[in-house]
Chain A
Amino acid sequence: MIRVIDLHKSFGGHEVLKGINLELDTGKITTIIGGSGSGKTVLLKHLNALLLPDRGSILVDGQDIIELGQKKLNEIRRKFGVLFQGAALLDSMTLYDNVAFPLREKTKLNESEIQKKVEENLAQVGLAGMGYKFPAEVSGGMKKRAGLARALVTAPEIMLFDEPTTGLDPLLGKSIHQLIQKMHAAFKFTGVIVSHDIPEVFKISDQVAMLANGVIIEVGATAEFLNSSNPIVRQFIQVETEGPIAVL
Protein backbone atom coordinates (compact mmCIF):
# COMPACT_ATOMS: atom_id res chain seq x y z
CA MET A 1 0.00 0.00 0.00
CA ILE A 2 1.07 3.57 -0.65
CA ARG A 3 0.10 6.31 1.79
CA VAL A 4 0.58 9.97 1.07
CA ILE A 5 0.50 12.04 4.25
CA ASP A 6 0.22 15.83 4.38
CA LEU A 7 2.30 16.36 1.25
CA HIS A 8 3.35 19.93 0.48
CA LYS A 9 5.31 21.13 -2.53
CA SER A 10 6.09 24.61 -3.84
CA PHE A 11 7.90 25.81 -6.93
CA GLY A 12 9.36 29.30 -6.80
CA GLY A 13 6.98 30.47 -4.09
CA HIS A 14 3.92 28.93 -5.76
CA GLU A 15 2.44 26.18 -3.59
CA VAL A 16 1.26 23.41 -5.90
CA LEU A 17 0.45 20.74 -3.32
CA LYS A 18 -1.05 22.04 -0.07
CA GLY A 19 -1.33 18.98 2.11
CA ILE A 20 -2.24 15.90 0.10
CA ASN A 21 -3.55 12.88 1.99
CA LEU A 22 -4.26 9.77 -0.04
CA GLU A 23 -4.22 5.99 0.32
CA LEU A 24 -3.60 3.77 -2.69
CA ASP A 25 -4.71 0.19 -2.17
CA THR A 26 -2.48 -2.71 -3.18
CA GLY A 27 -3.47 -4.39 -6.42
CA LYS A 28 -6.02 -1.69 -7.31
CA ILE A 29 -5.94 1.00 -9.96
CA THR A 30 -6.38 4.52 -8.64
CA THR A 31 -6.93 7.37 -11.04
CA ILE A 32 -6.08 10.92 -10.08
CA ILE A 33 -8.01 13.52 -12.05
CA GLY A 34 -7.84 17.29 -11.95
CA GLY A 35 -7.54 20.31 -14.18
CA SER A 36 -4.43 21.19 -16.16
CA GLY A 37 -1.74 22.55 -13.87
CA SER A 38 -3.47 21.25 -10.74
CA GLY A 39 -0.37 19.27 -9.72
CA LYS A 40 -1.32 15.72 -10.73
CA THR A 41 2.04 14.96 -12.33
CA VAL A 42 3.84 16.64 -9.44
CA LEU A 43 1.98 14.34 -7.05
CA LEU A 44 2.74 11.28 -9.21
CA LYS A 45 6.45 12.13 -9.32
CA HIS A 46 6.53 12.23 -5.53
CA LEU A 47 5.33 8.63 -5.29
CA ASN A 48 8.72 7.22 -6.33
CA ALA A 49 10.70 10.23 -5.09
CA LEU A 50 11.45 11.71 -8.50
CA LEU A 51 10.46 14.91 -6.72
CA LEU A 52 10.98 15.49 -3.02
CA PRO A 53 8.34 17.30 -0.97
CA ASP A 54 8.85 20.39 1.13
CA ARG A 55 6.89 18.65 3.89
CA GLY A 56 5.00 15.41 4.37
CA SER A 57 5.57 11.69 3.92
CA ILE A 58 5.12 8.97 1.33
CA LEU A 59 4.88 5.51 2.82
CA VAL A 60 5.47 2.60 0.47
CA ASP A 61 4.72 -0.66 2.25
CA GLY A 62 5.12 1.23 5.52
CA GLN A 63 8.50 2.78 4.69
CA ASP A 64 8.84 6.55 4.35
CA ILE A 65 10.69 6.91 1.06
CA ILE A 66 11.46 10.58 1.61
CA GLU A 67 13.92 9.77 4.37
CA LEU A 68 15.70 6.94 2.60
CA GLY A 69 19.32 7.01 1.44
CA GLN A 70 20.16 6.48 -2.23
CA LYS A 71 20.71 2.73 -1.94
CA LYS A 72 17.47 1.97 -0.13
CA LEU A 73 15.58 4.39 -2.35
CA ASN A 74 16.81 2.51 -5.41
CA GLU A 75 15.57 -0.73 -3.87
CA ILE A 76 12.14 0.85 -3.45
CA ARG A 77 12.26 2.30 -6.95
CA ARG A 78 12.72 -1.19 -8.36
CA LYS A 79 9.20 -1.91 -7.17
CA PHE A 80 7.95 0.80 -9.51
CA GLY A 81 7.38 1.00 -13.21
CA VAL A 82 6.60 4.36 -14.78
CA LEU A 83 4.94 5.20 -18.06
CA PHE A 84 5.86 8.82 -18.68
CA GLN A 85 3.66 11.24 -20.59
CA GLY A 86 5.92 11.22 -23.65
CA ALA A 87 7.02 7.61 -22.96
CA ALA A 88 10.59 8.89 -22.21
CA LEU A 89 12.22 6.19 -24.31
CA LEU A 90 15.95 6.63 -24.69
CA ASP A 91 16.41 8.16 -28.15
CA SER A 92 19.73 6.51 -28.79
CA MET A 93 18.34 2.98 -28.48
CA THR A 94 15.93 0.88 -30.50
CA LEU A 95 12.60 -0.10 -28.97
CA TYR A 96 14.07 -3.55 -28.29
CA ASP A 97 17.07 -2.11 -26.46
CA ASN A 98 14.83 0.27 -24.52
CA VAL A 99 12.77 -2.63 -23.22
CA ALA A 100 15.88 -4.73 -22.59
CA PHE A 101 17.61 -1.83 -20.82
CA PRO A 102 16.28 -2.33 -17.25
CA LEU A 103 16.92 -6.07 -17.54
CA ARG A 104 20.51 -5.55 -18.68
CA GLU A 105 21.12 -2.97 -15.99
CA LYS A 106 19.33 -4.43 -13.03
CA THR A 107 19.16 -8.20 -13.46
CA LYS A 108 21.63 -11.00 -14.00
CA LEU A 109 19.70 -12.54 -16.89
CA ASN A 110 21.75 -13.66 -19.86
CA GLU A 111 21.15 -12.23 -23.31
CA SER A 112 18.97 -15.12 -24.53
CA GLU A 113 16.72 -14.86 -21.45
CA ILE A 114 16.52 -11.11 -21.97
CA GLN A 115 15.62 -11.61 -25.62
CA LYS A 116 12.82 -13.98 -24.68
CA LYS A 117 11.38 -11.57 -22.11
CA VAL A 118 11.67 -8.52 -24.34
CA GLU A 119 10.02 -10.21 -27.30
CA GLU A 120 7.27 -11.49 -25.05
CA ASN A 121 6.65 -8.00 -23.66
CA LEU A 122 6.78 -6.32 -27.04
CA ALA A 123 4.26 -8.86 -28.34
CA GLN A 124 1.98 -8.21 -25.36
CA VAL A 125 1.78 -4.53 -26.26
CA GLY A 126 1.30 -5.27 -29.95
CA LEU A 127 4.82 -4.40 -31.07
CA ALA A 128 6.03 -7.83 -32.13
CA GLY A 129 8.67 -7.48 -34.83
CA MET A 130 9.00 -3.71 -34.32
CA GLY A 131 11.87 -3.83 -31.85
CA TYR A 132 14.46 -2.79 -34.42
CA LYS A 133 12.92 0.68 -34.84
CA PHE A 134 14.15 3.77 -33.05
CA PRO A 135 11.72 5.93 -31.02
CA ALA A 136 11.99 8.71 -33.63
CA GLU A 137 10.69 6.29 -36.29
CA VAL A 138 7.44 5.31 -34.59
CA SER A 139 4.12 7.00 -33.77
CA GLY A 140 3.12 8.44 -30.38
CA GLY A 141 0.91 5.43 -29.68
CA MET A 142 3.71 2.99 -30.45
CA LYS A 143 6.06 4.96 -28.20
CA LYS A 144 3.55 4.72 -25.34
CA ARG A 145 3.19 0.99 -25.90
CA ALA A 146 6.96 0.54 -25.96
CA GLY A 147 7.18 2.67 -22.81
CA LEU A 148 4.59 0.40 -21.20
CA ALA A 149 6.55 -2.70 -22.26
CA ARG A 150 9.71 -1.22 -20.75
CA ALA A 151 7.93 -0.31 -17.52
CA LEU A 152 6.42 -3.78 -17.19
CA VAL A 153 9.40 -5.88 -18.23
CA THR A 154 10.73 -6.08 -14.67
CA ALA A 155 7.25 -7.04 -13.39
CA PRO A 156 6.91 -4.07 -11.00
CA GLU A 157 4.56 -4.18 -8.02
CA ILE A 158 3.47 -0.59 -8.62
CA MET A 159 2.84 1.12 -11.95
CA LEU A 160 2.59 4.87 -12.38
CA PHE A 161 0.96 6.19 -15.55
CA ASP A 162 1.39 9.87 -16.34
CA GLU A 163 -1.39 10.85 -18.74
CA PRO A 164 -1.10 7.65 -20.77
CA THR A 165 -3.53 8.75 -23.50
CA THR A 166 -2.59 12.42 -23.89
CA GLY A 167 -1.87 13.31 -27.50
CA LEU A 168 -3.43 10.13 -28.88
CA ASP A 169 -6.59 9.86 -30.97
CA PRO A 170 -9.64 8.39 -29.15
CA LEU A 171 -9.19 4.93 -30.66
CA LEU A 172 -5.53 4.73 -29.70
CA GLY A 173 -6.41 6.15 -26.29
CA LYS A 174 -8.98 3.42 -25.80
CA SER A 175 -6.51 0.77 -26.90
CA ILE A 176 -3.98 2.04 -24.35
CA HIS A 177 -6.62 1.84 -21.62
CA GLN A 178 -7.47 -1.70 -22.68
CA LEU A 179 -3.79 -2.54 -22.65
CA ILE A 180 -3.40 -1.18 -19.11
CA GLN A 181 -6.40 -3.26 -18.04
CA LYS A 182 -4.99 -6.38 -19.72
CA MET A 183 -1.56 -5.84 -18.16
CA HIS A 184 -3.15 -5.21 -14.77
CA ALA A 185 -4.97 -8.52 -15.03
CA ALA A 186 -1.73 -10.25 -16.00
CA PHE A 187 0.71 -8.56 -13.59
CA LYS A 188 -1.64 -7.62 -10.69
CA PHE A 189 0.25 -4.38 -10.05
CA THR A 190 -0.94 -1.46 -7.95
CA GLY A 191 -1.69 1.21 -10.54
CA VAL A 192 -1.81 4.97 -10.29
CA ILE A 193 -3.06 6.80 -13.35
CA VAL A 194 -2.95 10.54 -13.79
CA SER A 195 -5.39 11.44 -16.49
CA HIS A 196 -8.11 13.76 -17.67
CA ASP A 197 -9.41 11.31 -20.21
CA ILE A 198 -12.96 11.43 -18.86
CA PRO A 199 -15.05 9.23 -18.81
CA GLU A 200 -12.88 6.55 -20.48
CA VAL A 201 -10.39 6.30 -17.63
CA PHE A 202 -13.13 5.48 -15.11
CA LYS A 203 -13.75 2.16 -16.87
CA ILE A 204 -10.38 0.83 -15.77
CA SER A 205 -10.23 2.45 -12.32
CA ASP A 206 -11.07 0.89 -8.98
CA GLN A 207 -10.71 4.19 -7.16
CA VAL A 208 -10.75 7.82 -8.27
CA ALA A 209 -9.34 10.88 -6.53
CA MET A 210 -9.73 14.47 -7.62
CA LEU A 211 -7.05 17.06 -7.06
CA ALA A 212 -8.05 20.71 -6.99
CA ASN A 213 -6.53 23.78 -5.36
CA GLY A 214 -3.60 21.72 -4.14
CA VAL A 215 -5.63 19.20 -2.12
CA ILE A 216 -7.57 15.99 -2.74
CA ILE A 217 -11.15 17.21 -2.66
CA GLU A 218 -12.81 13.85 -3.23
CA VAL A 219 -11.72 10.24 -3.23
CA GLY A 220 -13.64 7.01 -3.39
CA ALA A 221 -14.46 3.85 -5.27
CA THR A 222 -15.25 4.67 -8.89
CA ALA A 223 -19.02 4.14 -8.57
CA GLU A 224 -19.18 6.27 -5.42
CA PHE A 225 -17.01 8.95 -6.96
CA LEU A 226 -19.23 9.21 -10.01
CA ASN A 227 -22.19 9.86 -7.69
CA SER A 228 -20.35 12.53 -5.72
CA SER A 229 -22.38 15.59 -4.82
CA ASN A 230 -19.29 17.82 -4.67
CA PRO A 231 -20.04 20.61 -7.20
CA ILE A 232 -16.40 20.80 -8.34
CA VAL A 233 -16.30 17.06 -9.00
CA ARG A 234 -19.69 17.15 -10.75
CA GLN A 235 -18.62 20.01 -13.01
CA PHE A 236 -15.36 18.26 -13.89
CA ILE A 237 -16.70 14.79 -14.62
CA GLN A 238 -19.69 16.16 -16.52
CA VAL A 239 -17.33 18.41 -18.48
CA GLU A 240 -19.33 21.59 -17.95
CA THR A 241 -17.94 25.05 -18.43
CA GLU A 242 -20.36 26.63 -15.93
CA GLY A 243 -19.74 25.98 -12.23
CA PRO A 244 -17.33 26.54 -9.37
CA ILE A 245 -14.27 25.83 -11.53
CA ALA A 246 -13.31 28.98 -13.41
CA VAL A 247 -12.55 27.64 -16.89
CA LEU A 248 -11.18 30.76 -18.53
Chain B
Amino acid sequence: MTFLIGQIGRYAIEQTAGMGRTFLFLLSAFAWACRPPTRLRLIIHHIRTIGVESLSVVILSGVFTGMVMGLQGYYSLRKFNAENFLGSAVALGILRELGPVLSAFMVTGRTGSAMAAELGSMRVSEQIDALYSMAINPIQYLVSPRIIAGLISMPLLTAIFDVVAIYGAYVVGVQLLGVSSGSYFAGMELSVVFKDVLSGFLKSVSFGLIITWICCYKGFNAPPMATGVGQATTESVVACFVMILVWNYFMTSVML
Protein backbone atom coordinates (compact mmCIF):
# COMPACT_ATOMS: atom_id res chain seq x y z
CA MET B 1 0.00 0.00 0.00
CA THR B 2 2.80 2.41 0.97
CA PHE B 3 4.57 1.46 -2.25
CA LEU B 4 1.46 2.23 -4.31
CA ILE B 5 0.97 5.62 -2.65
CA GLY B 6 4.65 6.34 -3.22
CA GLN B 7 4.33 5.49 -6.91
CA ILE B 8 1.25 7.69 -7.30
CA GLY B 9 3.00 10.52 -5.49
CA ARG B 10 6.11 10.18 -7.64
CA TYR B 11 4.01 10.16 -10.79
CA ALA B 12 2.11 13.26 -9.66
CA ILE B 13 5.34 15.10 -8.84
CA GLU B 14 6.88 14.15 -12.20
CA GLN B 15 3.79 15.32 -14.10
CA THR B 16 3.62 18.59 -12.18
CA ALA B 17 7.32 19.20 -12.72
CA GLY B 18 6.88 18.41 -16.43
CA MET B 19 4.04 20.93 -16.71
CA GLY B 20 6.14 23.50 -14.90
CA ARG B 21 9.03 22.96 -17.31
CA THR B 22 6.66 23.26 -20.28
CA PHE B 23 5.30 26.60 -19.04
CA LEU B 24 8.77 27.90 -18.21
CA PHE B 25 9.82 26.96 -21.75
CA LEU B 26 6.99 29.08 -23.15
CA LEU B 27 7.77 32.01 -20.85
CA SER B 28 11.39 31.79 -21.81
CA ALA B 29 10.46 31.78 -25.54
CA PHE B 30 8.38 34.94 -25.05
CA ALA B 31 11.07 36.60 -22.97
CA TRP B 32 13.71 35.87 -25.62
CA ALA B 33 11.38 37.07 -28.37
CA CYS B 34 11.32 40.50 -26.70
CA ARG B 35 15.10 40.77 -26.59
CA PRO B 36 17.24 41.93 -29.49
CA PRO B 37 18.20 40.93 -32.10
CA THR B 38 14.80 40.75 -33.79
CA ARG B 39 15.01 37.71 -35.99
CA LEU B 40 12.68 38.97 -38.69
CA ARG B 41 14.24 36.89 -41.43
CA LEU B 42 13.77 33.70 -39.39
CA ILE B 43 10.18 34.64 -38.57
CA ILE B 44 9.44 35.14 -42.27
CA HIS B 45 11.14 31.85 -43.08
CA HIS B 46 8.94 30.02 -40.55
CA ILE B 47 5.80 31.80 -41.75
CA ARG B 48 6.63 30.33 -45.13
CA THR B 49 7.16 26.87 -43.60
CA ILE B 50 4.08 26.91 -41.38
CA GLY B 51 1.81 29.05 -43.55
CA VAL B 52 2.66 28.78 -47.23
CA GLU B 53 3.73 25.15 -47.17
CA SER B 54 0.58 24.08 -45.32
CA LEU B 55 -1.64 25.99 -47.71
CA SER B 56 -2.35 23.17 -50.16
CA VAL B 57 -3.36 20.68 -47.46
CA VAL B 58 -5.48 23.30 -45.70
CA ILE B 59 -7.27 24.23 -48.94
CA LEU B 60 -7.84 20.60 -49.85
CA SER B 61 -9.27 19.73 -46.44
CA GLY B 62 -11.30 22.94 -46.46
CA VAL B 63 -12.91 22.12 -49.82
CA PHE B 64 -13.95 18.63 -48.80
CA THR B 65 -15.06 19.64 -45.31
CA GLY B 66 -17.27 22.31 -46.87
CA MET B 67 -18.61 19.88 -49.46
CA VAL B 68 -19.55 17.27 -46.88
CA MET B 69 -21.14 19.91 -44.70
CA GLY B 70 -23.16 21.10 -47.69
CA LEU B 71 -24.29 17.57 -48.35
CA GLN B 72 -25.11 16.59 -44.76
CA GLY B 73 -26.61 20.00 -43.98
CA TYR B 74 -28.86 19.89 -46.98
CA TYR B 75 -30.33 16.46 -46.21
CA SER B 76 -30.74 17.24 -42.50
CA LEU B 77 -32.39 20.62 -43.11
CA ARG B 78 -34.65 19.28 -45.86
CA LYS B 79 -36.42 17.10 -43.27
CA PHE B 80 -37.68 20.35 -41.71
CA ASN B 81 -38.11 22.20 -45.01
CA ALA B 82 -35.30 24.46 -43.89
CA GLU B 83 -32.83 24.09 -46.81
CA ASN B 84 -32.64 27.84 -47.06
CA PHE B 85 -30.75 27.88 -43.75
CA LEU B 86 -27.91 25.85 -45.27
CA GLY B 87 -25.68 28.92 -45.70
CA SER B 88 -26.05 30.02 -42.11
CA ALA B 89 -25.58 26.48 -40.72
CA VAL B 90 -22.44 25.95 -42.75
CA ALA B 91 -20.97 29.37 -41.98
CA LEU B 92 -21.55 29.13 -38.23
CA GLY B 93 -20.15 25.60 -38.05
CA ILE B 94 -17.11 26.45 -40.11
CA LEU B 95 -16.30 29.84 -38.61
CA ARG B 96 -16.78 28.85 -34.99
CA GLU B 97 -15.58 25.27 -34.85
CA LEU B 98 -14.48 23.33 -37.88
CA GLY B 99 -12.33 25.99 -39.51
CA PRO B 100 -10.01 26.60 -36.56
CA VAL B 101 -9.94 22.99 -35.37
CA LEU B 102 -9.44 21.23 -38.70
CA SER B 103 -6.89 23.69 -40.01
CA ALA B 104 -5.00 23.30 -36.70
CA PHE B 105 -5.07 19.52 -37.17
CA MET B 106 -3.72 19.91 -40.70
CA VAL B 107 -0.92 22.23 -39.56
CA THR B 108 -0.05 19.86 -36.71
CA GLY B 109 0.27 16.95 -39.11
CA ARG B 110 1.99 18.90 -41.86
CA THR B 111 4.28 21.29 -39.97
CA GLY B 112 4.13 20.58 -36.24
CA SER B 113 5.48 17.06 -36.63
CA ALA B 114 8.26 18.31 -38.94
CA MET B 115 9.11 21.01 -36.40
CA ALA B 116 9.43 18.47 -33.57
CA ALA B 117 11.48 16.15 -35.78
CA GLU B 118 13.80 18.96 -36.91
CA LEU B 119 14.48 20.23 -33.39
CA GLY B 120 14.78 16.65 -32.10
CA SER B 121 17.34 15.85 -34.74
CA MET B 122 19.21 19.06 -33.87
CA ARG B 123 19.28 17.90 -30.25
CA VAL B 124 20.54 14.43 -31.17
CA SER B 125 23.24 15.75 -33.52
CA GLU B 126 24.43 18.29 -30.91
CA GLN B 127 23.44 21.29 -33.05
CA ILE B 128 21.60 22.77 -30.05
CA ASP B 129 24.75 22.32 -27.92
CA ALA B 130 26.71 23.97 -30.73
CA LEU B 131 24.45 27.04 -30.50
CA TYR B 132 24.96 27.22 -26.73
CA SER B 133 28.70 26.89 -27.21
CA MET B 134 28.64 29.83 -29.65
CA ALA B 135 26.88 31.87 -26.94
CA ILE B 136 23.69 31.92 -29.02
CA ASN B 137 20.56 31.11 -27.08
CA PRO B 138 18.81 28.27 -28.96
CA ILE B 139 15.41 29.25 -27.56
CA GLN B 140 15.78 32.71 -29.06
CA TYR B 141 17.17 31.37 -32.32
CA LEU B 142 15.04 28.24 -32.82
CA VAL B 143 11.89 28.50 -30.74
CA SER B 144 10.76 32.14 -30.46
CA PRO B 145 10.64 32.75 -34.26
CA ARG B 146 8.60 29.56 -34.74
CA ILE B 147 6.09 30.57 -32.06
CA ILE B 148 5.69 34.07 -33.53
CA ALA B 149 5.32 32.56 -37.00
CA GLY B 150 2.66 30.17 -35.67
CA LEU B 151 0.72 33.03 -34.10
CA ILE B 152 0.73 34.90 -37.43
CA SER B 153 0.18 31.95 -39.80
CA MET B 154 -2.60 30.06 -38.06
CA PRO B 155 -5.33 32.75 -38.28
CA LEU B 156 -4.49 33.33 -41.94
CA LEU B 157 -4.68 29.63 -42.75
CA THR B 158 -7.94 29.36 -40.82
CA ALA B 159 -9.40 32.29 -42.74
CA ILE B 160 -8.49 30.59 -46.02
CA PHE B 161 -9.94 27.30 -44.75
CA ASP B 162 -13.18 29.09 -43.81
CA VAL B 163 -13.61 30.76 -47.19
CA VAL B 164 -12.77 27.63 -49.15
CA ALA B 165 -15.07 25.46 -47.01
CA ILE B 166 -17.97 27.90 -47.37
CA TYR B 167 -17.52 27.81 -51.16
CA GLY B 168 -17.17 24.01 -51.03
CA ALA B 169 -20.57 23.82 -49.33
CA TYR B 170 -21.91 26.34 -51.88
CA VAL B 171 -20.85 24.13 -54.78
CA VAL B 172 -22.67 21.11 -53.31
CA GLY B 173 -25.67 22.89 -51.79
CA VAL B 174 -26.36 25.47 -54.49
CA GLN B 175 -24.81 24.11 -57.68
CA LEU B 176 -25.59 20.42 -57.20
CA LEU B 177 -28.59 20.22 -54.87
CA GLY B 178 -30.45 23.32 -55.94
CA VAL B 179 -30.55 25.56 -52.86
CA SER B 180 -31.02 29.14 -53.98
CA SER B 181 -27.80 31.11 -54.11
CA GLY B 182 -29.49 34.17 -52.65
CA SER B 183 -30.84 32.37 -49.59
CA TYR B 184 -27.46 30.64 -49.06
CA PHE B 185 -25.62 33.94 -48.72
CA ALA B 186 -28.48 35.93 -47.21
CA GLY B 187 -28.89 33.37 -44.41
CA MET B 188 -25.19 33.60 -43.76
CA GLU B 189 -25.30 37.38 -43.62
CA LEU B 190 -28.22 37.35 -41.20
CA SER B 191 -26.92 34.75 -38.77
CA VAL B 192 -23.17 35.36 -38.66
CA VAL B 193 -22.17 38.13 -36.27
CA PHE B 194 -18.77 39.60 -35.53
CA LYS B 195 -18.48 37.51 -32.36
CA ASP B 196 -18.51 34.31 -34.45
CA VAL B 197 -15.62 35.54 -36.57
CA LEU B 198 -13.77 36.78 -33.49
CA SER B 199 -14.27 33.44 -31.74
CA GLY B 200 -12.75 31.59 -34.72
CA PHE B 201 -9.90 34.07 -34.92
CA LEU B 202 -9.03 33.79 -31.22
CA LYS B 203 -9.20 30.02 -31.41
CA SER B 204 -6.88 29.93 -34.39
CA VAL B 205 -4.35 32.21 -32.68
CA SER B 206 -4.39 30.02 -29.57
CA PHE B 207 -4.04 26.86 -31.69
CA GLY B 208 -1.06 28.43 -33.45
CA LEU B 209 0.49 28.92 -30.03
CA ILE B 210 -0.36 25.40 -28.84
CA ILE B 211 1.08 23.72 -31.95
CA THR B 212 4.37 25.62 -32.03
CA TRP B 213 4.79 25.53 -28.26
CA ILE B 214 4.20 21.80 -27.84
CA CYS B 215 6.10 20.74 -30.96
CA CYS B 216 9.08 22.95 -30.15
CA TYR B 217 9.12 21.78 -26.53
CA LYS B 218 8.98 18.11 -27.45
CA GLY B 219 11.60 18.46 -30.19
CA PHE B 220 13.89 20.67 -28.12
CA ASN B 221 13.82 18.20 -25.23
CA ALA B 222 13.98 15.03 -27.31
CA PRO B 223 16.02 12.27 -25.66
CA PRO B 224 19.49 12.41 -27.23
CA MET B 225 19.27 9.05 -28.98
CA ALA B 226 18.17 7.80 -32.38
CA THR B 227 14.68 6.84 -31.17
CA GLY B 228 14.35 10.22 -29.44
CA VAL B 229 13.35 12.01 -32.63
CA GLY B 230 10.54 9.55 -33.41
CA GLN B 231 9.34 9.65 -29.83
CA ALA B 232 9.32 13.45 -29.76
CA THR B 233 7.42 13.62 -33.06
CA THR B 234 4.74 11.13 -32.03
CA GLU B 235 4.29 12.68 -28.60
CA SER B 236 4.06 16.19 -30.03
CA VAL B 237 1.37 15.27 -32.57
CA VAL B 238 -0.74 13.36 -30.05
CA ALA B 239 -0.37 16.09 -27.42
CA CYS B 240 -1.31 18.79 -29.96
CA PHE B 241 -4.45 16.95 -31.10
CA VAL B 242 -5.61 16.42 -27.52
CA MET B 243 -4.77 19.96 -26.45
CA ILE B 244 -6.52 21.46 -29.48
CA LEU B 245 -9.73 19.56 -28.71
CA VAL B 246 -9.64 20.33 -24.98
CA TRP B 247 -8.81 24.01 -25.51
CA ASN B 248 -11.46 24.26 -28.22
CA TYR B 249 -14.13 23.06 -25.81
CA PHE B 250 -12.91 25.48 -23.18
CA MET B 251 -12.94 28.43 -25.57
CA THR B 252 -16.32 27.52 -27.01
CA SER B 253 -17.85 27.36 -23.55
CA VAL B 254 -16.40 30.74 -22.67
CA MET B 255 -17.24 32.47 -25.94
CA LEU B 256 -20.75 31.17 -26.57
Contact = CB atoms under 8 A, between A and B. Distances in A.
A75 B134 CA distance: 10
A82 B125 contact: no
A77 B127 CA distance: 16
A134 interface: no
Interface in B88-137: 121-122, 125-127, 129-130, 132-137
A106 B136 contact: yes
B125 A106 contact: no
A77 B126 contact: no
B135 A86 contact: no
Contact of A82 (B122, B133, B137): B133
Given A86-B125, A88-B125, A74 B135 contact: yes
Given A78-B135, A80-B133, 8 more contacts: A45-B129, A77-B135, A82-B133, A86-B125, A90-B127, A91-B121, A91-B122, A102-B134
B129 A90 contact: no
Contacts of A85: 126
A84 B126 contact: yes
Given A84-B126, A88-B125, A50 B133 contact: yes
Name the residue among B126, B129, B130 with the largest chain A CB count within 10 angstroms. Answer: B130
Chain A interface category by residue count: 20 to 34
A82 B130 CA distance: 7
Contacts of A90: 122, 127, 130
Contacts of B121: 91
Nearest to A81: B133
Contacts of B122: 90-91
Contacts of A75: 135
B125 A105 contact: no
Interface of chain A, helix or strand or loop or mixed?
mixed
Contacts of B134: 77, 101-102, 105-106
A121 interface: no
22 contacts: A70-B137, A77-B132, A77-B133, A77-B135, A78-B135, A80-B133, A82-B133, A84-B126, A84-B130, A85-B126, A86-B126, A88-B126, A88-B127, A88-B129, A88-B130, A91-B122, A91-B127, A101-B134, A102-B134, A105-B136, A106-B135, A106-B136
Interface in A57-84: 70, 74-75, 77-78, 80-82, 84
Interface in B185-202: none
The 6 closest A-B pairs by CB, nearest first: A88-B130, A74-B135, A88-B126, A77-B135, A82-B133, A84-B126
Chain B interface category by residue count: 10 to 19
Interface of A: 45, 48, 50, 70, 74-75, 77-78, 80-82, 84-86, 88-91, 101-102, 105-106
A138 to B, nearest CB: 15
Contacts of A77: 132-135
Nearest to A75: B135
Contacts of B130: 82, 84, 88-90
Contacts of B137: 70
Contacts of A88: 125-127, 129-130
A90 B133 CA distance: 13
A119 B213 CA distance: 38
Nearest to A92: B118
Contacts of B136: 102, 105-106
Contacts of A81: 133
A45 B128 CA distance: 13
A75 B129 CA distance: 16
A101 B135 CA distance: 12
A226 to B, nearest CB: 31
A90 B132 CA distance: 13
Nearest to B121: A91
A90 B126 CA distance: 9
A89 B130 CA distance: 8
A111 to B, nearest CB: 14
Interface in B153-196: none
Contacts of A78: 135
A48 B132 CA distance: 9
A107 B129 CA distance: 20
Contacts of B126: 84-86, 88
B138 to A, nearest CB: 11
Name the residue among A85, A90, A106 with the largest chain B CB count within 10 angstroms. Answer: A90
